[in-house]
Homo-oligomer: A and B are copies of this chain.
């Protein structure tokens, strides 16, 4: 029986007014405080930031995407290079997903459309086949046909060598029928069991596996899937799949899932991470988030800012042309405090890479500050007040 001796999750405080909780998640590469945010190093790199810059921005944990890494440079190469930690120079806790999400829904596209329900079906032309065994898709790198199964997803993640792994699952689109969603969720359950068998077969104690709750937007299916993950020896629980088209629907789906998940395991919310989402779902008991937003917004000239309407400001806006004020003096980060908005505006107009680097590090530092302040607010029972400070009243 899997027992993950090198890992632990201790909940040491629970909010009196919500299900928000403070935890410590221990991995072989360090212990993180939760709630926390896992930054996306999609192709074994955070876009525009070195590991040293991530640490300067007080980052605790990052992830990388199995789908991209299996295609390039390949899991075998990463293993020969000493594993993903060594390959990318990140010595802290590291998570990989299973590859399924991108295979099923995206190809090289974006996650937000899928999670938010803006994708109308399995319209990824690179996805060739889904069967009980697994799926076959075409590589966007070289056109090769590639089969991904629960067993190979485990093998690949074992070779990559991250601390936290995800089971292989089918991620169903938003607009499929309940009948399709139910059959898919049941297959993901069988795939989860195959993942557990394969994981345990090669387990050396260095990795821990999360089960994933699927079931689309249907509460009864979510409950079945959540109870499945609870009953199996997963280390953690992830909420996956399509979460509905609106904030309310997303909240309903999570509310239908988490009460039936294992109460003592860490809960990860896959692909969600706007500031308002973090506040909402921390209160529902989510421990970790991941999202590409911090670095993607940076590439579009947008800075996340505490208290800004809509969470952020767009430095491309002409109003910043002569604004001598620094981006943010509250972040305790040189990138946030040592350049004026006017300068960053100028860099964006000139398409200078430095703009994206400054904004990426600023955004990562801002989210890490958000999570530190959220943890403090849970401890002191002041989450509501903190949310007003961040999002406005």
Contact = CB atoms under 8 A, between A and B. Distances in A.
Contacts of A349: 72-73
A73 B346 contact: yes
Interface string A108-145: 00000000000000000000000000000000000000
Contact of A45 (B43, B81, B352): B352
Interface string A321-337: 11010000000001100
A30 interface: no
Interface in A28-62: 43-52
Nearest to A340: B81
A315 to B, nearest CB: 13
A350 B45 contact: yes
Nearest to A347: B45
Contact of A354 (B49, B72, B339): B49
Report, as a range, how many residues of chain A touch the other chain: 35 or more
B45 A340 contact: no
A342 B358 CA distance: 26
B339 A48 contact: no
Nearest to A52: B334
B354 A48 contact: yes
Contacts of A322: 77, 80-81
A357 interface: yes
Q: Which of the listed residues A81, A340, A354 has the most CB atoms from chain B within 10 Å of its own CB? A: A354
A343 B82 contact: no
Contact of A72 (B87, B324, B346): B346
Contact of A43 (B72, B73, B334, B352): B352
Interface in A340-371: 340, 342-343, 346-347, 349-350, 352-354, 356-358
A350 B339 CA distance: 29
A325 to B, nearest CB: 11
A348 to B, nearest CB: 11
Contacts of A357: 48, 50, 353, 357
28 contacts: A43-B350, A43-B352, A44-B343, A44-B346, A45-B347, A45-B354, A46-B354, A47-B352, A47-B354, A48-B353, A48-B354, A48-B357, A50-B357, A50-B358, A52-B334, A52-B338, A72-B346, A73-B342, A77-B322, A80-B322, A81-B322, A81-B324, A81-B340, A87-B346, A88-B343, A89-B338, A89-B339, A353-B356
Interface of A: 43-52, 68, 72-73, 77, 80-82, 87-89, 321-322, 324, 334-335, 338-340, 342-343, 346-347, 349-350, 352-354, 356-358
Given A44-B347, A50-B335, A81-B324, 19 more contacts: A44-B343, A44-B350, A45-B347, A47-B353, A48-B353, A48-B357, A49-B354, A50-B354, A52-B334, A73-B342, A73-B346, A77-B321, A81-B322, A81-B342, A87-B340, A87-B342, A87-B343, A89-B343, A353-B357
